[in-house]
Chains A and B, each alone.
Chain A
């Protein structure tokens, strides 16, 4: 099926999944990514489908090296996620996951900003059901906050796109750059989805509340679409280098003290995206390659970690570090797979993280940003610390929590196995991935200095963890609420709003004591005129209708004579 965009296939599958019974649905869900990926690989290297709607030249389907790479990546991510979630009986999640994946395809293959906007919003709307699907009060609140922030991002994107359209008369999605109001608005829109510092809270707020299987999808698509969009629109924007550096560093502190292990992973996700953002900001061939290769690997190893935590949550129902521990006895396979993911995210040589992260690091040095390089180095140590050691340590080792359970269902193990295989495979044969990158790669990951530097970093970082733990300085895993920027809108703003309401309520009371409440009066006015029995809504006596006719005739006569 030539030129059949992947999103259409996934949307159709989502529709079918909404009605199919369980087994055919499972077969369909497994088949869709395979068929769609095969179709994608058949397409020519460069493809542009354009159409005109209402004088607008749209390009809803564009394939080039960059979008093709993300397309393949998302197919892998979707397939792994589908395998992992195959056992669930919750139809909502299956439909939402397919629609969500379809939206991600639509977004990366969008050739113009309007199409991008449509799928940008579809991403938000479809994914929120993966959060709602937890069916808890917390998840409902987190999902609503998530949805609001995502929709705001979409609105900013639309506004920016319209401004650009007004200036240039074209909606094509090419390099935009941080110039003018349009570029800035789009930058902000991408930034929200990319979890820039201060704009990141939707991620750490909502992802840990999603279902065990939902988080796997969530971690694969939304932020990576944003990374793709940044790479397409803002490559070489210097501000991104510093934003990225901050993104790699600040989540570490939160991740270290956080108790909910999936939230730890959410923070580490921001940290990993930071590396990609730095790479995009540098804009050199090596840096962009590194950023994109890292996005590719991140989907897989972060997915693997999320899946291992999802498996733990699925089997034990708990997710706090303080309540887990000692699970390696009853879940040895999951433990091993989780360690593969941890090694990959920590960039151990021969694991996937190593071959991509070091590309960004080298590019940073080449471009002469020594302080940024130091920040990234610190961040690398931090990643190893919180994601590489903390996650497996507190979940599977540490003190024995006394929980005895079993390995997760086979489909979960298979999904994790696929991801782990890819982690090691790409780590050992990085050239397979390098061949797909947008620029030609002349980078050799396995030379002495890279390996030595990384090993040193990892060993010392591990030593630090061990020492802190033995010396008892390491922050204990406690039930606590860690305050992040979201405090502004979850506590401060409501408090202010409450205060404002109280004050205005008092004012209103005072006013109503003096006479009548202003608000009530206004509503009464509206109801009086427009309400069910209002002046304008009731059946009028014929006489007054005729009166109106007379008034209007008189008025027009006067006006026409003037």
Chain B
């Protein structure tokens, strides 16, 4: 009967593990619990993905309370897919975190760190699994609050300011989402997404619905860091502990994009959200600007974590472009990029984490000769970079390829130009790093000094995944295409 309880376990396991962490609070034990909880979550999400792919949607009523009154969890392919991404990344990055965190965070804080990590994981998984709009807000707050804590633990003093700014902006975003959900509740009298989808069409013409939609889209725009609402992100990622940067960059914005997709496609419906409302145009324009402007900014960054953060803003641009096409092909590209971007950014941030652990810096000028001092780590960085650029046979190429095809299919060739220009800009900012690491005159001390295996193995796992999913697309494209068809076809 354990299979029937999978949706509950998905959230409950990390939540209880978080409490355990707080009680035990010894670094080693806390890490072990985190790792174990991540692994269990990953297994649960994989089992659910398998089940959803085989036999369709899983419904789960919490505590036996039926849908409109109790909280319903509803897992379709999109949910399962996002849950899989989040829990897998958490597992891989938590392996890397043990050594990284030990060097960046004081011993007496490490227990709290892992508690916050698990709470954040709980929140992200909860957002992705729940079928209840208010419950979604609650999980959003759990994940946000814990991520403020995680970021504030960065060893740089600027981490505090960055976390504070993120706190303000994140809270505004969450408030907007709450206001949006509240307005919808006032209008329809329900918080269940299925019910909302059923009742909204009748009242879609009202100002309340439109105001609710405006608050939701702007609030979600903040959470996904859509240009120009991305300003909180660069510093937050740049000054957070290395493991947190890797974890959040690969998961947090992805989950927010999932929420946007859920509201746009499942709750409001394509006709209203992308047809009657000019959201598609807004996403296309802002997405294009994000790709071009954030990539250009990334070129001039000296702090590579900040460079990757700007690159993330650009990647959000690609995701937005895919949604704005409002076709199943475009949505497939977005969902695909959700996964592939998690892989590449995960690999890149983990590689930077290894470097930061060894040389204590992530500034470009300290990278001279690193290609020879840390060949394995730089190998990961190069693979991740190639994937980010979109070189054939890497995962990044696949999602860009599908995005370009979708744009051409729709006849939006300017979007194609933007995507290609973005890739060229990515070539420049990745090349700067490669040039510095391999071609610049190395400093006097050039003895080999690699990161330990516990950091290198997760890094290489991610790098290999980039290569694997660059040449074996059946799995990723297959699931993304089915998920996109599901979002287009039916309510949640």
Contact = CB atoms under 8 A, between A and B. Distances in A.
A561 B234 CA distance: 33
Interface string B458-492: 00000000000001010000000000000000000
B231 interface: yes
A532 B232 CA distance: 16
A552 B228 contact: yes
Contact of A561 (B210, B299, B302): B210
B210 A560 contact: yes
Interface stretch (B80-88, B106-114, B214-222): B214-222
A534 B297 contact: yes
A552 B299 contact: no
A540 B231 contact: yes
Contacts of B235: 539
Interface string A522-542: 000011001110101101101
B278 interface: yes
Interface residues of B, number: 41
B168 interface: yes
Contacts of A34: none
A546 to B, nearest CB: 6
B217 A556 contact: yes
B434 interface: no
Contacts of A530: 293, 296-297, 299-300
B282 A548 contact: no
B301 A542 contact: no
A70 B223 CA distance: 60
B214, B282, B296 — most chain A CB neighbours (10 Å): B214
A488 interface: no
A508 B228 CA distance: 35
A544 B213 CA distance: 23
A530 B473 CA distance: 36
A526 B293 CA distance: 10
A549 B213 contact: no
B172 interface: yes
B229 A536 contact: no
A545 interface: yes
Contacts of B210: 557, 560-561
A54, A540, A556, A562 — most chain B CB neighbours (10 Å): A556
B157 interface: no
Contacts of B296: 526, 530, 536
Given A545-B165, A549-B229, A553-B218, A560 B213 contact: yes
Given A540-B231, A560-B277, A561-B207, A546 B300 contact: no
B401 interface: yes
Interface in B19-41: none
B176 interface: yes
A559 interface: yes
Interface in B277-328: 277-278, 282, 293-294, 296-297, 299-302, 310
Interface string B125-165: 00000000000000000000000000000000000011011
A559 B471 CA distance: 43
Contact of B214 (A526, A534, A542, A553): A553
Given A556-B214, A556-B218, A557-B214, A537 B229 contact: no
B169 interface: yes
B211 interface: yes
Interface string A46-64: 0000000110000000000
Nearest to B221: A552
A526 B299 CA distance: 11
Contact of B301 (A532, A540, A548): A532
B215 A532 contact: no
A546 B168 contact: yes
A552 B218 contact: yes
A531 B228 contact: no
Contact of A531 (B164, B294, B300): B300
Nearest to B276: A560
Interface string B78-112: 00000000000000000000000000000000000
Interface residues of A, number: 26
A537 B301 contact: yes
Given A542-B168, A556-B282, A560-B210, A532 B300 contact: yes
A548 B231 contact: yes
A68 B176 CA distance: 69
B293 A54 contact: no
Contacts of A531: 300
Given A54-B473, A539-B235, A561-B210, A553 B300 contact: no
A435 to B, nearest CB: 40
Contacts of B207: 561
B218 A549 contact: yes
Contacts of B294: 536
Contacts of A540: 231
A52 B232 CA distance: 44
A526 B297 CA distance: 9
Nearest to B169: A545
A559 B279 CA distance: 9
Contacts of B302: 532
Contacts of A537: 234, 297, 300-301, 310
Given A545-B232, A552-B218, A536 B169 contact: no
Nearest to B393: A53
Nearest to A558: B214
B278 A559 contact: yes
Nearest to A527: B300
A531 B301 CA distance: 8
A104 B218 CA distance: 56
Contacts of A552: 218, 221, 228-229
A463 B310 CA distance: 75
A28 B96 CA distance: 39
A548 B473 contact: no
B221 A557 contact: no
A534 B366 CA distance: 22
A540 B236 CA distance: 12
Interface in A422-469: none
Contacts of A539: 161-162, 165, 234-235
Contacts of A549: 169, 172-173, 176, 218, 222, 229
A547 B164 CA distance: 17
Interface string B175-214: 0100000000000000000000000000000010011011
B213 A534 contact: no
A534 B232 CA distance: 16
Given A530-B296, A534-B300, A548 B229 contact: yes
Contacts of B293: 530, 536
Nearest to B310: A537
A524 to B, nearest CB: 13
A552 B302 CA distance: 30
Nearest to A533: B300
A44 B122 CA distance: 60
Nearest to B286: A552
A54, A548, A560 — most chain B CB neighbours (10 Å): A560
Contacts of B173: 549
Interface string A100-116: 00000000000000000
A526 B301 CA distance: 13
A397 B475 CA distance: 70
Contacts of B161: 539
11 contacts: A54-B398, A531-B300, A537-B310, A539-B165, A546-B168, A552-B228, A556-B214, A559-B277, A559-B282, A560-B213, A562-B278
Q: Which 9 residue pairs are nearest across A and B when measured between Cβ atoms?
A: A560-B210, A556-B214, A530-B296, A537-B297, A553-B218, A545-B231, A540-B231, A557-B214, A530-B297
Given A54-B473, A539-B234, 19 more contacts: A54-B401, A532-B302, A537-B297, A537-B300, A537-B301, A540-B231, A542-B165, A545-B168, A546-B168, A546-B169, A549-B172, A549-B173, A549-B218, A552-B229, A553-B214, A556-B214, A559-B277, A560-B278, A562-B278
